[in-house]
Amino acid sequence: MKYVDEFRDRQLAEQLAKAIAAEVDSAREYRLMEFCGGHTHAIFRYGVQDLMPENVQFVHGPGCPVCVLPIGRIDNAIQLVQQHDVILCSYGDLLRVPASKRMSLLKLKAAGGDVRMVYSTQDALRIARENPQRQVVFFAIGFETTTPPTAVAIKQAQAEGLENFSVFCNHVLTPAALTAILESSESHGTGRVAIDGFFGPSHVSSVIGSRPYEYFAEHYHKPVVIAGFEPLDIMQSALMLIRQLNEGRSEVENEYIRLVSREGNTKAQALVAEVMERRAEFEWRGLGLVPDSALQIRPEFAAFDAEKRFTLPAISASDIKGCECPRILRGQKRPTDCKLFGTVCTPENPMGSCMVSSEGACAAYWSYGRFRQPQRQAQ
Ligand code: SF4
3-class SS string, 80-102: HHHHHCCEEEECHHHHCCCCHHH
DSSP per-residue letters across 335-350: GGGSTTBTTTBBTTB-
281-284 and 288-291 beta bridge pairing: antiparallel
With beta carbons less than 8 A apart as the criterion, state whether 69 and 319 touch.
no
Q: In the chain, which residue ranges form alpha helices assigned H by DSSP?
A: 10-23, 37-45, 65-68, 71-84, 92-95, 105-110, 121-130, 147-160, 174-182, 185-189, 203-208, 214-219, 231-246, 266-275, 306-309, 325-329, 361-364
Q: Is the CB of 355 under 6 A from ligand 1?
A: yes
For a ligand 1 pocket test, name from 321, 328, 334 the mutation site with the most ligand atoms within 8 angstroms of its C-beta.
328
Q: Tell me the CA–centroid distance for residue 344 and ligand 1, in Å.
A: 9
At residue 256, what are phi and psi to the nearest 5 degrees? -95, 50
Cβ neighbours of residue 237 closer than 8 Å, sequence gap 6 or more: 199, 225, 226, 227, 228, 255
The atom number, within ligand 1, closest to the CA of 355 reads 7
Atom of ligand 1 nearest to the CA of 356: 7
User: What is the pairing mode between strands 197-200 and 165-171?
Assistant: unpaired
Q: How far apart are alpha carbons 94 and 117 in whole angstroms? A: 9
Please give the distance, rounded to the nearest whole angstrom, from the Cα atom of residue 68 to the centre of ligand 1: 13
Q: Is the CB of 328 under 6 A from ligand 1?
A: yes
pLDDT tens track of the chain, all 379 residues? 777 888 999 999 999 999 999 999 999 999 999 988 899 999 999 999 999 999 999 998 888 888 899 999 999 999 999 999 999 999 998 998 989 988 999 999 999 999 999 999 999 999 999 999 999 999 999 999 999 999 999 999 999 999 999 999 999 999 999 998 888 755 544 444 589 999 999 999 999 999 999 999 999 999 999 999 999 999 999 999 999 999 999 999 999 999 999 999 999 999 999 999 999 999 998 888 999 999 999 999 999 999 999 989 988 887 788 999 988 888 888 899 999 999 999 998 889 889 988 789 999 999 887 666 555 444 4
CB of 341 within 6 A of ligand 1: the answer is yes
Q: Are the C-beta atoms of residues 174 and 35 closer than 8 Å to each other? A: yes
Question: Ligand 1 within 6 A of 138 CB?
Answer: no
In this structure, the residue with its CA closest to atom 1 of ligand 1 is 341
Residue 128 CB less than 6 A away from ligand 1: no
Q: Which of 59, 20, 25 is nearest to 40 (CA)?
A: 59
Residue 137, number of CB atoms within 10 A of its CB: 25
Question: CB-based burial of residue 26 (10 Å sphere; 0-12 exposed, 13-18 middle, 19+ buried)?
Answer: exposed
**Predicted local confidence at residue 115, as pLDDT:** 98
- pLDDT of 64 reads 86
